[in-house]
Amino acid sequence: MTMSDSIKKERGESIFLNERFMAVLCAAAVMTGLASLYMCIRGGDSFSVFEVATKLVTATAMYLSFTRVKWDVAKGLMGGVLFCLMYQEAHLVFNVLWAEENFDTYLVAGVQGSLYLAAAGMAFLMTVIITINHFFINYTAHGNPKNVILNRMAILFKFAVFILLLVSNSQLGFSSGVLWKNALQYLTDSVLLLLLVCMEAQFDTFNALRHELMKQKRKGGRNA
């Protein structure tokens, strides 16, 4: 058994440490993203086309850089994916809903519309928290365990918010094209978030492996 295998065993063989699972997630993100891109092009929404295409290219580049190039490149691109999500959600909350004064449209829809508005706002806030913590975790010298816990709590909460967005979106009385376009974007974002969790788990494992190797090296130096 190799050292990396023993670390995985100690962590309970987490599915997030499985690179095949990461490949499946990347493929799912590409498929849902392409379907969403097709619907955005058909709807003539140029901004949505731009943001979906940016997420697709960045996420694919992140996965390929992790598996074939350098882990450090993947770390930087992870931040790029998070910024894509944050920018998309900020555009929805501040431009589409607030600036264009579409709040009334959703409030008229009743409870479902109100839930959708609340979930959209919470999704944006959670992405801001996750993005800030991502950079603290990846770019501080020794990491911050409290930050890691906060990040995981924010990710779990964001999954709950995505489920709320999907359910409330499906119950809104808009055209099927709009509902499908929104649903595909939220599914793509959910898959991307899972992919980010997988990559964070892999980086944690690499750090643990590096510390184990350093311990063995120090022991070897003392024995010599």
How does residue 81 score in pLDDT terms, banded at 50, 70 and 90?
confident
- Residue 83: predicted pLDDT: 87
Dihedral class, residue 144 (left if φ above 0, else alpha if ψ from -120 to 50, else beta): beta
- Residue 191: predicted pLDDT: 92
Mean pLDDT for the stretch of residues 149-164: 86
- Residue 220: predicted pLDDT: 64
Q: Which of 75, 26, 82 is nearest to 54 (CA)?
A: 82
> How many angstroms from the chain centroid is the CA of residue 209?
25
Mean pLDDT for the stretch of residues 46-54: 87
- Residue 99: predicted pLDDT: 77
Residue pLDDT, tens place only, 162-183: 999 999 999 888 888 888 988 9
17 has a pLDDT exceeding 60? yes
Other beta carbons within 10 angstroms of residue 183's beta carbon come to: 17
Q: Please count the residues of the chain.
A: 224
Residue pLDDT, tens place only, 89-142: 888 888 878 877 777 777 777 888 888 888 999 999 998 888 888 777 666 655
CA neighbours closer than 13 Å in the CB half-sphere of residue 188: 30
57 has a pLDDT exceeding 70? yes
CB 58 within 8 A of CB 51: no
More confident residue, 171 or 71: 171
In the predicted model, what is the mean pLDDT of the chain? Answer: 80
32 has a pLDDT exceeding 90? yes
- Residue 218: predicted pLDDT: 65
- Residue 102: predicted pLDDT: 72
Task: List Cβ neighbours of 158 (8 Å cut-off, separation of 6 or more).
Answer: 123, 126, 127, 130, 193
> How many angstroms from the chain centroid is the CA of residue 138?
15
DSSP 177-202: HHHHHHHHHHHHHHHHHHHHHHHHHH
pTM: 0.80
7 has a pLDDT exceeding 50? no
Mean pLDDT for the stretch of residues 23-31: 92
